[in-house]
Amino acid sequence: MSVFGYAQQINVNSLRYTTNPNQNQIAFEVTSSPQHRVFVMDNPSRLVIDIKNAQLGHSLNQPSAAHPLFTRVRSGIKNDTDLRVVFDLKTPISLKKLTLNSDNSDDHRLVIDLLDKDSVATTKNEDKEVAKIVASLSLEPKMVETKPVETKAVETKAVAVKSTESTRANRIVIAIDPGHGGDDPGAHGPHGTEEKKVTFAMAKKLEALINAQPGMKAVMVRKGDYYVGLRDRMKIARTAKADLFVSIHADAFQDSEVKGASVYTLSTSGASSEAARWLADSANASDLVGVSLNDKEDVLASVLLDLSQTATQEASVNVANHVLKSFDNISQLHKDSVQKAGFLVLKSPDIPSILVETAFISNASEEQNLLSNQYQSKVASAIFKGVLSYFRQSSPVDNRIAALDM
């Protein structure tokens, strides 16, 4: 894969490794989106990544001795301007069994995925971009085994399945994003508590509450302790056709006395930068607003996107206010009004999105709260109550809200 290069030299500042059953991922932190190519060489077996007009800002982390694929990483300058990174392999890579994917859509990360083709094959009938996200992050569709039965039973079962599928299709979908994960632990508490662990624990409790509510369904953005790119988190929510995106975090500050919860939505400047990104790709923008923009003037395309974003931002603020109000009963508020910031995970132009800072992990007493099963349940309950209150007041465009009162 390649994208437009930049005149200014790119710095490659760090390297992360993520390993899952069907995936080995490497992610470079870069100063801007690079032009690059990825290929495999034999005798000896190596994975090679050439990054155009780039240099190392810091030395690259070596893979652990237990890594299933890589033994070491080395680098050098090629053609005086380009950076070549070479991963020595423990065993040869068979491209008959593995698929190589690379992505630099995030300006600050270059991600290389080595995917088990058996995993990718389960999504072969889906859109290529969706298939990549679903396969690499284990959001595989559930397969239903069909067994031979008598004709009369088939007819009865068909009616039941139709009813069940109709109910499922009408559910309100909430994407839950536990902050950080994998090699990105997030903030640390005074006693070493990692943000990624407490956010995942609270997210799982929120998932259980949502799935127990008739008319609602939860989709976990990450299902375990591994890192998911920030734009991939947005893509997973869109793939699931989410009606709401909730990102869960634990705040930190150098002053350990600071405490309290906050709720964020996207800032105006964040929305503007995202609009420019979407408008640069007419196919994506057309998909967003539901109208082909190829034959539209740039001004009209901008207006259509702005209408979509405005409605989404208004909905985001509305649900954020409901969630913030629910926190009054369980926690001190750090800010008693909805805050705005340019967090990347909040930038979906068509999905209302909020980010909840559940407490300050840098505060010793709140660190202990975050480790408490009781407090985690209270936080999950507060978020759930706020979300439920929002949807009862401002339902999606169809009649799905009726199922919430079953």
Peptide bond into 92 cis (omega under 30): no
What pLDDT does residue 277 have?
59
pTM for the model: 0.58
Average pLDDT over residues 293-318: 66
Of residues 130 and 259, more confidence is placed in 259
Are 300 and 364 found together in one domain? yes
For residues 266 and 342, the answer to whether their CB atoms sit within 8 Å is yes
- Please check whether residue 146 lies inside any domain of the structure: no
Are 105 and 187 found together in one domain? no
- Please check whether residue 84 lies inside any domain of the structure: yes
Q: What CATH code is carried by the domain that includes residue 58?
A: 2.60.40.3500
255-260 long-range contacts (CB < 8 A, ≥24 apart) are 256/190, 256/362, 256/363, 256/364, 257/363, 258/334, 258/360, 258/362, 258/363, 259/332, 259/334, 259/359, 259/360, 259/363, 259/365, 259/366, 260/331, 260/332, 260/333, 260/334, 260/335, 260/359, 260/360
Are 80 and 224 found together in one domain? no
Range of the domain at 19: 10-136
Of residues 63 and 122, more confidence is placed in 63
- Please check whether residue 207 lies inside any domain of the structure: yes
Most confident of 35-49, 116-130, 361-375: 361-375
Average pLDDT over residues 107-136: 55
Are 107 and 236 found together in one domain? no
> CA-CA distance, 43 to 93, in Å (whole number)?
12
> CA-CA distance, 80 to 77, in Å (whole number)?
6
Residue 336 binned pLDDT confidence (cut-offs 50, 70, 90): confident
226 alpha-carbon distance from chain centroid: 11
- How many Cβ atoms from other residues are within 10 Å of residue 381's Cβ? 16
Are 329 and 382 found together in one domain? yes
Backbone angles phi, psi at 55, to 5 degrees: -145, 160
Q: What CATH code is carried by the domain that includes residue 316?
A: 3.40.630.40
pLDDT tens digits, one per residue of 337-375: 999 888 888 888 889 999 999 999 999 999 999 999 999
Of residues 108 and 371, more confidence is placed in 371
Q: How many folded domains does the chain comprise?
A: 2
Identity of the amino acid at 362 = S
- Please check whether residue 154 lies inside any domain of the structure: no
- Please check whether residue 27 lies inside any domain of the structure: yes
pLDDT tens digits, one per residue of 67-80: 888 899 998 888 88
What pLDDT does residue 222 have?
94
Question: 111: phi > 0 → left, psi -120 to 50 → alpha, else beta; which?
Answer: beta
- Please check whether residue 155 lies inside any domain of the structure: no
Are 92 and 195 found together in one domain? no
Are 35 and 172 found together in one domain? no
> CA-CA distance, 175 to 240, in Å (whole number)?
8
- Please check whether residue 35 lies inside any domain of the structure: yes
- Among the ranges given (126-135, 185-194, 305-314), the one the predictor scored with the smallest mean pLDDT: 126-135
Are 251 and 312 found together in one domain? yes
Are 178 and 69 found together in one domain? no
Are 353 and 314 found together in one domain? yes
What pLDDT does residue 299 have?
54
> CA-CA distance, 156 to 136, in Å (whole number)?
37
- Among the ranges given (193-207, 263-277, 359-373), the one the predictor scored with the smallest mean pLDDT: 263-277
- Mean pLDDT score of the chain: 76
| pLDDT over 90 at 219, yes or no | yes
Residue 126: closest CA among 110, 139, 144: 139
What pLDDT does residue 102 have?
64
Are 111 and 254 found together in one domain? no
